[in-house]
């Protein structure tokens, strides 16, 4: 591909479909999964890469139907462990999502029990699966598309790197004009740091009631999306952080929210 505009459209479209899947409600999981897989099937740049991973990197012993049966019939069983390379994980997880769609796996049941993290709510079970399985595929595809973008020079216009929190390893790409903010979107270190902070917050939220847990879960997903966008918006992030601080008087929970606020502060 040598069309920068087309690549931007693919990145934007994939991010939109991935975001919808990651935020899927348990009663419409199959619909969102179908749209996500359909987007991949109809986007040659992504589908060709995944097909190549399946053809060249899928472990010979991998049996996707066996994986589905093991999780469906074994209470609390989870998928994995996955392969050691990005390509192996891409192949395995994509085939798992395809098989789940083929078998019409519902999130209204016990299929995702192994991802419940102690909760009995279908939504929490589904979210655990999306965070620990689907997100891996999304991250690998985003990284692949980003590498193509870098090779095409999509971030070459007036861009500069700014250190975050005095750390030379955590960076935000800022740009002027029509520059494409691609470095922030897939900065693995920043994503990893935020994932860790949000994981702690979600763990502490298990002590809250169901409505508050759902608010925390939705807020965490939105904060992830803001980081991935490359340009977190204060008008989105600040109200979320204020709402989170207001739902609990627990010192640990408030401290966790403060850490997240400190993480975003240099970007707003």
Specify the pLDDT at position 192: 72
153 phi/psi in degrees, rounded to 5: 80, 30
pLDDT at position 191 over 80? no
pLDDT at position 214 over 80? yes
Mind spelling out the 3-state secondary structure of 129-195? Answer: HHHHHHHHHHHHHHHHHHHHHHHHCCCCCCCEEEEECCEEEEEEEECCCCCCCCCHHHCHHHHHHHH
Specify the pLDDT at position 167: 38
Of residues 1, 250, 24, 9, the one with CA closest to residue 129: 24
Tens digit of each residue's pLDDT (9 = 90 or more) over 95-154: 999 999 999 999 988 899 999 888 889 999 999 999 889 989 998 998 898 888 888 776
pLDDT at position 199 over 50? yes
Of the pLDDT bands very low, low, confident and very high (cuts 50, 70, 90), residue 245 is confident
pLDDT at position 256 over 60? yes
Of the pLDDT bands very low, low, confident and very high (cuts 50, 70, 90), residue 189 is low
What average pLDDT does the structure give for the chain?
A: 82
């Amino acid at each position: 591909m040598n069309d920068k505009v087309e690549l931007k459209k693919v990145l934007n479209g994939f991010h939109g479909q991935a975001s919808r899947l990651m935020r899927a409600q348990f009663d419409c999981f199959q619909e969102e999964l179908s749209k996500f897989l359909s987007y991949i099937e109809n986007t040659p740049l992504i589908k060709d890469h995944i097909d190549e991973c399946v053809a060249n990197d899928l472990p010979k012993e991998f049996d996707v139907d066996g994986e589905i049966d093991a999780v469906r019939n074994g209470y609390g069983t989870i998928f994995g462990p996955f392969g050691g390379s990005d390509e192996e994980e891409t192949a395995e997880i994509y085939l798992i999502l395809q098989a789940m769609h083929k078998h019409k796996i519902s999130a209204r049941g016990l299929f995702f029990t192994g991802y419940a993290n102690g909760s009995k709510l279908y939504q929490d079970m589904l979210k655990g699966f999306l965070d620990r399985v689907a997100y891996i595929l999304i991250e690998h595809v985003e990284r692949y598309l980003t590498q193509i973008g870098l090779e095409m020079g999509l971030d070459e216009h007036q861009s500069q790197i700014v250190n975050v929190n005095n750390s030379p390893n955590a960076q935000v790409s800022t740009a002027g004009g029509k520059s494409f903010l691609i470095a922030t979107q897939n900065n693995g270190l920043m994503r990893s740091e935020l994932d860790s902070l949000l994981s702690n917050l979600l763990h502490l939220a298990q002590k809250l009631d169901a409505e508050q847990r759902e608010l925390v879960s939705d807020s965490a997903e939105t904060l992830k999306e803001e980081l991935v966008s490359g340009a977190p918006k204060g008008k989105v992030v600040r109200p979320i952080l204020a709402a989170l601080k207001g739902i609990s008087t627990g010192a640990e929970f408030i401290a966790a929210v403060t850490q997240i606020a400190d993480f975003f502060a240099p970007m707003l």
